[in-house]
Structure 1
Amino acid sequence: MPKNRPKNRPIQALLLSTIAMAASFVIWNLFSPLAITFKELYRLNGFQASLLVAAPVLLGSVMRIPMGIYADRYGGRRVFSATMLFLIVPLLAASFASSYSVLLLCALFIGMGGSTFAISLTYVSRWFPPRKQGLVLGLAGLGNLGSAAASYGVPVLHAQMGLSATFRMLAIMIGAAAIGFWLLGKDLPNPASVKNFKQSMAVLRKKSTWLLSLFYFLTFGGFVAFSVYLPTLLKEQFALSATEAGFRTAVFVLLATLIRPLGGLWADRIGSRRVLAVVFSGFAIAAFLMTLSLERLSLFTTGCLIGAMFLGIGNGAVFKMVPEVSPQDTGAVTGIVGAAGGLGGFFPPMLLGFIHDASGSYVNGFVLLSVFTAVCFGFNAWTIRPAIEKGATRAA
């Protein structure tokens, strides 16, 4: 990191990256609050509607791996701006879509908005020293607020302007964000030796990479799954209006996102492993409460909010460890772990839709969530590499 850079440049990089990620996440999550609209418009069954909601999550997750590496290699400013500009194409195409298959294809490419997570964290991490990584990457994760904005704002925009105009307005928004980032953003000079894709992917040989991916599959995957599927679940299970379901989902996203920096800060001070032990215990309780309260909105809401709190803390704690796994390949590890988290948000909505279609209830889906949380708790307690914790222990 150059010593002569302006003192305010890291803060500027953090701020710009967070805003750009939030704008991209609005795009990434726009199909979730409109799921019921599309379900009625194209007469979809539960699985088809879930697939439409989950499709952006799939591409956004998988593409985090190359986008994190490209951000390391070519600089976050260039890669971030190009990705946001690309989103204009599927948005405009979706505004003219007249069939489910075309809309599904547009939804898949709109998923590129989710890949900006890896770009953002790779870009920001290079501006700050290791002792601040937990808090800083937690703050960068506030870009998840774009999901909350989509949950509440997209239904309002749709009600006022109609479906096609909603897509076009969002295309204008993301285009403006891309131009702003390009004009105001700066990159640190590239490191002396830049690894190719194959060399960067060598981090897959490390057990710690797979363990962090497992943990993020639950914490961020749970966050994404609830963000995209709660509007549908609340409308079908509790007969809420689209606006009310969107508002409740926005509260969930807001709580999970705002508390994320706290998870990173605690991980800086006491170590991520200890924080995650509390997270997995607490989320298991929340999942169990949600399982028992699928007929009572007040109790289900309580379980969701408790779950949001622990998921947010867990997200911050996991990414505190990412730069410590391989400091020279932060982009690669960020992309792989981020992809695992995104895939954790892809499968649950589809599984819940399938389970509900088959049994008429969501109970078994929440039971599976509780079991998977217990598995993560076990791995954290017995098999995580102590080396991951060295940096956090020294900082404590």
Structure 2
Amino acid sequence: MNAWFPPERRGLAIGIFGAGMGGTAISALTTVKLVDAHSMPTPFLITAAVLALYAVTAGLLLRNAPGRTVPTEPLGRRLAAALRLSITWQASALYAVAFGGYVAFSVYLPTYLKTGYGLTQADAANRMAGFVLLAVAMRPVGGWLSDRLGPIRVLAVSLAVVAVGAAVQSFTPSLAPIGTIAFLSMAGALGAGSGATFALVALLTPANKVGSVTGVVGAAGGLGGFVPPLVMGSLYGAYGSYAVGLALLAMVAAAALAYTLTGVRSAVRASEHGVSHR
């Protein structure tokens, strides 16, 4: 995707591309209703039909960027080269927090709201959908701001907001308004941070390795979303409270913030001065 856009517009372009994560909200709002109205296979059949339609559309309309060089090295060698780049590990760590936090909340937030605040399944699902939609809307904004202000500033503000929001929520405040403000603030910050992370990848990754690095970073985000729900469930089972889990999220976000302002910022400055960031 980098090849289609000049460097000063890649953050916004990748942010718009990443807004496809809004499918989580669509799924949350429609799956149960489709099952209740029709049958269990209905949402899966609809998804299969949409995927087939997209495959045909993509085959007819999508094209590689002009001048694209087809890789000749084996997959394993390309991945090994990507793993030797420091930006791969830096962006993976940040994306595991930003996108991983988004995925974790989209999975676990309904359970949290039902258990912690006594909401109904429908009400909790609707609030989770609102969380997801705000995060989706903020992802292109995060990319756009990264083009103008630099990804470090956007990441730093985003991670600071997540740290504060998680710390506030660890005290289980009333849902209206403090809890709602905390969660919506974290939603916007996680979306913007996800967009800024890939703007950072576009900025620091050699053009011939963007695909490999993006794949590794995306996998790290998925892994980052898999672990927190398990941790939250285990901690709730042990202590009967989500406070410890949210406090841990605040500490992880604070650690990621410190890393962004030190190691990652140094890599960006080195890149600006033409120094290798391997």
2:38: which partner in 1?
Answer: 161
Q: Distance in 2 between matches of 1:322 and 1:196?
A: 22
Structure 2: which 5+ runs fail to align? 274-278
1:199: which partner in 2?
Answer: 77
**Cα displacement (A) at 1:291:** 0.8
Identity level (%): 36
Alignment of 1:235 with 2:114, yes or no, is yes
* Aligned pairs (5 A) from 1:1-396: 124-188=1-65, 190-201=68-79, 202-293=81-172, 296=175, 298-323=177-202, 324-384=204-264, 386-388=266-268
Q: Distance in 2 between matches of 1:292 and 1:285?
A: 12
2:276: which partner in 1?
Answer: none
SS at match of 1:384: helix
SS at match of 1:302: helix
**Cα displacement (A) at 1:245:** 1.4
1:314-362 deviation digits (Å, cap 9, x = unpaired): 1111111112222211111101111111111000011111112222211
**Cα displacement (A) at 1:240:** 2.1
The aligned length equals: 271
Structure 1: which 5+ runs fail to align? 1-123
1:337-391 deviation digits (Å, cap 9, x = unpaired): 1111111100001111111222221111101101111111111122225343577
CA contact (8 A) 1:203 1:326 kept: no
**Cα displacement (A) at 1:213:** 0.9
TM-score, normalised with respect to structure 2 = 0.89
CA-atom RMSD in angstroms: 2.2
Q: Distance in 1 between matches of 2:155 and 2:7?
A: 20
CA contact (8 A) 2:19 2:136 kept: yes
Higher relative contact order (CA 8 A, sep 6+): 2
**Cα displacement (A) at 1:273:** 1.2
Q: Distance in 1 between matches of 2:47 and 2:69?
A: 36
SS at match of 1:126: helix
CA contact (8 A) 2:172 2:243 kept: no
TM-score, normalised with respect to structure 1 = 0.64
SS at match of 2:148: helix
Q: Distance in 2 between matches of 1:234 and 1:372?
A: 22
1:55: which partner in 2?
Answer: none
